[in-house]
Structure 1
C-alpha cells in the first residue's frame, strides 16, 4: 500500500482505539460512582438502624433503672415506716414503765416514811429497854459489852493455850525420840578410830652434838633450812630434840621430814639441804594429792576439781585439838549421809557438804577471813551447789542454814567433834575455858544466866527483861564480845547471843 494511505489509516485506528478506551473508562467511572452512592445510602440506613437500636436499648435501660430505684425507694419507705412503728411502741412502753416507776417511787417513799416512823419508835423502845436494863444490872451498856468481851477472850485464850501446850508437848516428845533414834543409829554405824593422828613438831636427834651441825658455821645451815621451808627451827636446852614451829602444817611437815633425813644422812650443808627440801616438797605434794583422791574415792564423791582435791589433801597434815581434820571431814561426810538417808534429804549434797565443810582450813591465805568464809569462796568459785556453799558457811552458825542439808552437816560436825576420844584437849583446859566465858558474861549488870554451849563456840546469855532494854542488850553483847577478844585465847569464833524475853507462868490448881 501506499504510504499516504497507511498513515491516515493508522491515525484513524489510534483515534478509534482512544475513543473506545475513553468510552470504557467513562462507563467504569459511572458504574463506580453509582456503586459508591449505593454503598453510602446503605451505610446511612444501617447507621440509622443501629442508632435506633441503641436509643431503644438506652431507653429500656433507663426504664429498668428507674423501676429499680422506685422499688428501692418503696422498700426504704416501708422500712422507715416499720422503724417508726417500733419506735412508737418503745416510746409507749417507756412511758408506761415510767408511770409504773413513778407509782413504785411513791410507794417506796410512803414505805420509807413508815419505816422511819417505826425505826424511831423502836429506837425509843430500845432506849427505854436499855435504861431499864442498866437500872436493873447496875452498869452501863459499854461496861456490860466490855465485861462480856473480856470473859470470851479469857476463855478463848485459856482453851487455845491448853491445846497449844498439848500439841507442843506431843510434837516435842515425838521429835526428841526420832532425833535420838537417828543420831544413835548414825553413831552406831560409824566405824572409826578412837584416837586420831597428831602432827609431830619435834625432831629427835642422836646426840646433842648434832645441834651444832644443824646450826652450821655462822648459822648458815639453819638459815638455809628456815628460808627454804618457811618455818622456825627452835634449838634450845631440850636434850636430843629440835622443835619446829610454823602456822602452815604442810610447811611444818616438809621441814620435819627434811630435817629427819638430813640427820640420818649426816651430810648437812646448804647445797644438801636445798636438794633434800626440794625432794621432800615433791613427795609431800604427791602425798597431798593421793590423800585427797583417796578420801574422795572412799566416799564415792565425783566431780571434784584438782584445786579442791589439793585443799582436801592439805587437811591430812592439819589437826584441831589433836583431831586430824581430814579424818574429821570424812567422818562428817559419812554421818551426814546416814542422817540424810534417814530423814529423806539429799544424801549426795549432805555428804559433799560434810566433806567440804572445813575445806577452808586447807587453803593458803594471808587474809583475816575465817576458814568457813574462805571455804565458801573456793566452793563458789569452783561452781559447787548453793546448798553445799550454805553448809560450809553455816556449820559454825556464821549464817543461818537455808536447807535441811546444812542442818544435817551441823549435826554431823558436832557428833564427830564431841564423840569420846575424838579430840585431845585436856578436860581441865576445856572446863576452864567454858567457865571463863560464863564468868565474863555474868560480870555484866543485868545478866541473869550465861551458858557456854557447842564446845565453847557459842555463849547464850539470859538478861533481865525489866532492867535491860533492847538497846541495852545490844550494848551488853558488844561489851562481852570485846572482853572475850581481849582476855581469852580460843580457836575460830565465839557467837554471843543475848536472849531478852517476857515470860508469864500460871498454874491451874
Structure 2
C-alpha cells in the first residue's frame, strides 16, 4: 500500500515537471520569435540605408570620374594645340629653308652655266693657241735650217759653241757673285748677332739689387739694447760666437748693426735676434737654442729656394746637392749683384739666345743656371770658381756639354760646344746691365753726392738733398742770408752749374726752399 502511494507521488511529480518544461519552452520560443523578428526588421533597415548610401557614393564617384575625364580631355586638347603650333612653326621654318635652298640652287646653276660658257671659250682659245704653236714650231725649224746653211754649222755644233762661251762667262760672274755674297753675309751675320742679343735683352725685365755686408736690425726702444748686451756682455758674446757675426750696438737710435761678409750667417743672426726680442728671454742658453733652430730653418729655406728656382725655370733632374747650392746662391753676391738672381737671368738669356740660333735651349738654360755654382764653396779652394763649378757638375752627373760651358765661361779651358760661348755672352750681358753690379751703384752714389756738393758750394745754402734717384735736388737756405727775391736767382745759378759740370740722364729739378720760423719759449 505504501508502495502504490509513493509511485503515484513520483508519477505526479514527473508529470508536473514535464508540464512545466513544455509550458516554459513555449514561452521561450515566443520570446525568440519576437527577437528574430526585430533583428530581421533591423537588418532590412540597415540594408535599405546601405543601398541609399551606396547609390550616393556611386553617384559621387561617377561625378568625380566625369570631372577627371574632362580635366584630362582639356589637358590633352592643350597639348594637341601646342604640338600643332610647334608643327606649324616647323613647317614654316622648313618652307623658308626650302625657299632659301631653291634660291641657292638657282644661283649655283646660273654660276655653273657661266662656268660652262667660260670653259667653252677657254677650250676654243686653247685650240687656237695649239694651232699657233705648231705654226711657230714649223717656222722655227725653217729658220734653223736657213741659219745652218748660212753659218756652215749644224744646230748641235752651234749649241756646244754657245755653251762653252757661256760657261766661261758664267764662271767669272759666279766668282764675283760668290765674293759679294760672302762679304754681304759677314756684314749680315754681325747685324743679325746684334739683333739677337738686343731682342734677348729686351725680352728680359729683371730688377737689380746691390747686396752689402751690413744688415740693420730695428728695435722698438733703446732699452732692448741693454738686454741684447747682457750682464758684462755675456749675451752679445754668445750671440757673436754662435752666429759668427759681429754685432755693433752703438748710439744709433732704435737699431743694431749686424756686420758679416757671409749673408747666410748674417740672416741667421738677424732672425735669431728677432725671435729673442719677441720671446723676451735673452740669456746664453736661450740664444744657443734659438740660433740652432734658426740654422735648421735657414737650411730648409735654402732647399725650398733651390727647388722653386728649378721649377720656375722648368729644369728637371738636378742632383739634390746642386739644388742646395742653388738655394745658397740667394744669400751670396757677386760684385754686389745677388748671385741667384744673376744665375737665373743668365739661364733665361742663354735659353733665348740658343732658341734664336736653333740650338738646345733647355741645355743652355741648365748651364746658365749652374755656371756660378763654384762661388759657393763649402771649404776654401785654390781653384777658380769656374773650374770648381765644373768639377762639382761632373761629380753630380751633369751633361758633358753643361760641364764644359761652366768651366769655360771665363776662358780657363777650351770651349768645345756651342752653348759654351752662349753662356759666356749671357754672363757678360747680365753683369754689365746698368745698376746690376756695385761699380754702377758707386758711380750712381757719386753722382748724388756731387749734386748735393754743387748746391752746398753756394753762399747761404744750409742743407741740400738729392731725392727721387737724383732726378730732384731740394735746397734749404738760411732765411737771414737769402730773401724771397734771391731764391729764384739761386735756383737758376745752381741749375746752370749742374749743366756745366755734370753728365746725367734725363733732367734734374732744382727746388730752393726758404722758410721763416718764430720760436718762443713759455716758462
Q: Give TM-score, length-normalised by structure 1.
A: 0.49
Q: Give TM-score, length-normalised by structure 2.
A: 0.48
